[in-house]
C-alpha cells in the first residue's frame, strides 16, 4: 500500500523519509568497505551506527502509529541490526570468534529480510526492490563469512551500494512527491487549510 500523500493529516512522510535516509547512509558507508573501496569502516561510518539505530527505532514507532507496518518492521529490524553490529564491533571477544560463527549472524538477518521481502509486494514499486537488495547483500556477505572468498564480499558490497541508492530514492520520493502535491512537508497545518477549501 503506497503512502497517501493527499491525506492532509499524513505525517508518515516524515517517518519514511528519515528512516530510509538513515538506512541509505549507513548501508552506503558499510558497503563501500565490502566493495573494497576502503580497507575498513572508519570513524565516520562506525560512529553512525548507534545514533542511526536510535533514530530508526523512533521512526519505526512513528511508522507503526500511522499504520505503516512494513516501514515499521524495516526500521525496527534496522535498529536491531545496527545496534548489534555496533556492539559486536566494540566487543573485544568478536575478534576471537570464527568467521563461520559470524556467518550465522548475517544468515539470520538475510532470512529475516528475505521473508519481509516476500510480504512486501503490495508496498509499491521501490520497497520490494530495497528489501530484495538488502536480503541479497546480507546473504552474499554470509557466504563470504562462511567461505572467506573475497568475491562474495565484493558482490555484497556492490549490491549494498545499489540498495542504499534505492533507499535514498524512497526517502527522497516520499517527501518530494508530498511537496509537489501542494503541501509543505514542514507545515501540516497549511496542508489542512488547503484541503478545507
Render the burial of 101-116: b for 16+ CB within 10 Å, e for the rest: ebbebbbebbebbbeb
User: In this structure, is residue 116 part of a structural domain?
Assistant: yes
pLDDT in tens, 33-47: 888 898 887 788 778
Q: For residues 148 and 128, what is the distance between their CA atoms, to the nearest angstrom?
A: 29
Please check the confidence at residue 65 and state whether its pLDDT lies above 50: yes
Residue at 2 is within a domain: no
Read off the pLDDT band of 69 (50, 70, 90): confident
Residue 101 and residue 133 in contact, taking contact as beta carbons nearer than 8 Å: no
Domain that residue 170 falls in: 12-196
User: Within a domain: residue 6?
Assistant: no
For residue 137, is it within any domain?
Answer: yes
Q: Point out the least confidently predicted range of 11-25, 32-46, 140-154, 173-187.
A: 173-187
Q: Is residue 109 part of a domain?
A: yes
At residue 82 the predicted structure's pLDDT band, cuts being 50, 70 and 90, is confident
176 found inside a domain: yes
What nine digits make up the cell of 33?
568497505
Q: How confident is the model at residue 166 (pLDDT cuts 50, 70, 90)?
A: very high
Q: How many domains does the chain have?
A: 1
The Cα angle at residue 95 between residues 49 and 106, in degrees rounded to 5: 55
Query: Does residue 22 lie within any of the structural domains?
Result: yes
For 178-196, b/e burial (b = at least 16 CB within 10 A) is: beeeebebeeeeebeeeee
In a domain, residue 141? The reply is yes
pLDDT at 192: 38
Hey, which residues does 187 pair with through a beta bridge?
184
Determine the pLDDT at residue 173.
83
Amino acid at each position: 500500500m503506497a503512502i497517501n500523500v493527499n491525506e492532509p493529516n499524513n505525517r508518515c512522510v516524515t517517518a519514511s523519509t528519515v528512516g530510509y535516509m538513515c538506512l541509505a547512509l549507513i548501508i552506503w558507508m558499510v558497503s563501500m568497505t565490502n566493495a573494497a573501496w576502503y580497507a575498513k569502516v572508519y570513524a565516520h561510518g562506525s560512529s553512525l551506527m548507534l545514533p542511526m539505530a536510535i533514530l530508526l527505532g523512533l521512526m519505526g514507532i512513528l511508522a507503526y502509529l500511522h499504520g505503516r507496518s512494513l516501514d515499521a518492521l524495516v526500521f525496527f529490524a534496522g535498529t536491531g541490526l545496527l545496534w548489534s553490529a555496533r556492539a559486536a564491533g566494540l566487543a573485544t571477544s568478536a575478534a576471537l570468534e570464527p568467521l563461520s560463527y559470524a556467518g550465522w549472524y548475517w544468515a539470520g538477518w538475510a532470512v529475516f529480510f528475505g521473508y519481509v521481502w516476500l510480504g512486501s509486494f503490495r508496498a509499491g514499486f521501490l520497497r520490494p526492490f530495497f528489501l530484495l537488495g538488502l536480503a541479497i547483500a546480507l546473504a552474499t556477505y554470509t557466504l563470504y563469512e562462511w567461505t572467506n572468498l573475497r568475491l562474495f564480499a565484493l558482490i555484497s558490497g556492490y549490491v549494498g551500494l545499489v540498495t542504499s541508492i534505492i533507499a535514498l530514492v524512497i526517502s527522497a520520493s516520499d517527501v518530494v512527491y508530498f511537496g509537489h502535491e501542494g503541501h509543505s512537508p514542514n507545515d501540516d497545518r497549511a496542508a489542512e487549510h488547503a484541503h478545507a477549501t
